[in-house]
Amino acid sequence: MPTPKITPKNPAFDFTKYRPFEFAPHLPDRTWCDKRIEKAPIWASVDLRDGNQALIDPMTIEQKLKFFKLLVAVGFKEIEIGFPSAAQVEFDFTRLLIEGGHVPDDVTLQVLVQAREHLIERTFESLKGAKRAIVHVYNSTSRVQRDKVYQLDKDGIKAIAVGGATLLRDIAKRYPETEWIFQYSPESFSQTETDFAVEVCQAVCDVWRPQDGQKVILNLPATVEASTPNLYADQIEYFCRHLPSRKDVIVSLHTHNDRGCGVAASELGVMAGADRVEGTLLGNGERTGNMDILTMAMNLYTQGVDPELDLSQVSEIVQVATDCTNLPVHPRHAYVGELVFTAFSGSHQDAIKKSLDYNEKHPETEQHWDVAYLPIDPVHIGRSYQDVVRINSQSGKGGAAYILQRHYGFDLPRWTQIDFAKVVQNQAESLARELKTDELLDIFTKTYLTQETFKLSDYQINNRGGDVSFNGQIATPTDVLEIIGQGNGALSAFIDGLVKATGKDIHVTNYSEHAINTKATESLLDDELGDNQTNSAAAAYVQLNVAGKVYSGIGVCSSTVSAMLKGVLSALSQSW
């Protein structure tokens, strides 16, 4: 691989062209930083509007309907479905949902519209017959928009907001069969002087009069994320404190991800007093995206807070979302990426294995999830434990041991783990890629269980008052050895016979055994068990010191003694 060329620093990369964020209010007595989120906010999905407008190829009506049904199934009660006055396809989709009976009684449609009369009239037409709907009107209020886009002063901008609010109020009266909820956004709130944002929103409330029963949502967008999340939280807390109509309105957030902190900003904004959060599944949206509702909801879940969304089958949610948007999901995307519950690091794998083993042995003390490197149990969101540990050249002893234990029932003692880890690492390095689970089992089998160097023939073990004798034969590639030995047990008698037959200095340094379920390793054990098929067999782990060097072996058989003897020969074959 050629060495990449590093070009000289681009002189256009000039940080002096930027200035620190200047729109944060003075709030020395802020209270949000001492709070916790103890209840899920009202969630509002904008996948079908914000998310859709950010796609290279916008969704078809069929894809939007499929996505809408997904959002309903997940549990969203407020769904912004589009901008029906902006395009015929958006208008037609709105009519399809209403006339086709696709909107459950407990779900509220939301639509977006600019503060212009003909657009507002068209929007209400699209919603005719809806049981309940949110009409979301907006206009930009930031200094840069006032000065350079609209070229209006603050009074001119406020007049646009008041005019739009008045139109909504008056036109809604033509459709009394629908329960109307009005929503106003001072677009680019994050780059608006907070006092002015309060002034504009209160002027809108003066038109809508929420104190008289008209439901009102004030949505405060970080249209461009321009500050750290704590400063956005200051803006939200200041707004909530100073808005005269605060007790009569729902304060909503709509954060973007330009600085990569959209989720954090919404979390702190809720702590600062907001009631509602708009976002998209997986964070799709303009530029770097909208706030990822799935991530924020799962963050609540990990803290023992009911997210009030059903994310138990997250892989299915991701599949539908990617099918409809044609956008891939990064393998490291929080909670849903292919690799987020996967450990390649040896130390991580070892810690996961030990944590899970501990929890299995102490179920009475483990009432809450507490496993190293796993913030949640993957099973809770429809993922499998096979996702947790995967093997490459960076993996340690714990990873391979975990897979062999979870998938095949082999509980390798530490000294066997160390020995096998070296074999696995060498294989992964030679292939220069990750090893699959079946490949790992194949390596394990060839290394320990199917060695051809020694074959045990018929044998007899006699025990006379604690004096054990062994008499049998083993076949080598070139000879048949008579094994005759004595000891205080079958193992020591067999070793004694091997020492005499081979002339080698052989000592057992470690030994371990356990029962193994043949169902977990049925195909693997067929040859080992022959006609003696039972529900369980024995796995024996033997570590030998042969002429000063240490070797590990494993034997499997329906008989514990035969498994032990095979384990000895497996280890001995490593030295031959």
Binding site for Mg(2+): what residues are annotated? Answer: 50, 254, 256, 290
DSSP 208-223: H-GGGT--EEEEEEES
26-36 burial: b if 16+ Cβ within 10 Å, else e: ebeeeebeeee
**How far is residue 410's CA from residue 556's CA, in Å, rounded to a whole number?**
10
What is the layout of strands, in order, in the sheet containing 536-546? 506-517, 536-546, 549-557
Tell which residue, 74, 147, 140, 155, has the closest CA to residue 107: 74
Tell which residue, 126, 69, 81, has the closest CA to residue 108: 81
| Bridge partners of residue 241, in order along the sequence | none
Binding-site entries? 50, 254, 256, 290
**How far is residue 18's CA from residue 272's CA, in Å, rounded to a whole number?**
28
Q: Cβ of 417: how many Cβ atoms within 10 Å?
A: 22
Q: What angle do CA 473, 475, 481 make, to 5 degrees?
A: 50
Which run of H or of E encompasses 135? Answer: strand 132-140
Q: What angle do CA 145, 241, 276 make, to 5 degrees?
A: 70
Q: Using only C-alpha atoms, what is the Rg of the chain?
A: 34
**How far is residue 105's CA from residue 115's CA, in Å, rounded to a whole number?**
28
**How far is residue 346's CA from residue 352's CA, in Å, rounded to a whole number?**
10
**How far is residue 455's CA from residue 569's CA, in Å, rounded to a whole number?**
8
Tell which residue, 375, 371, 335, has the closest CA to residue 353: 371
Q: Cβ of 522: how many Cβ atoms within 10 Å?
A: 11
- Residue linked to tokens 């979870």: 406
- Which residues, other chains included, contact 394 with Cβ-Cβ below 8 Å and sequence gap of 6+? 344, 345, 346
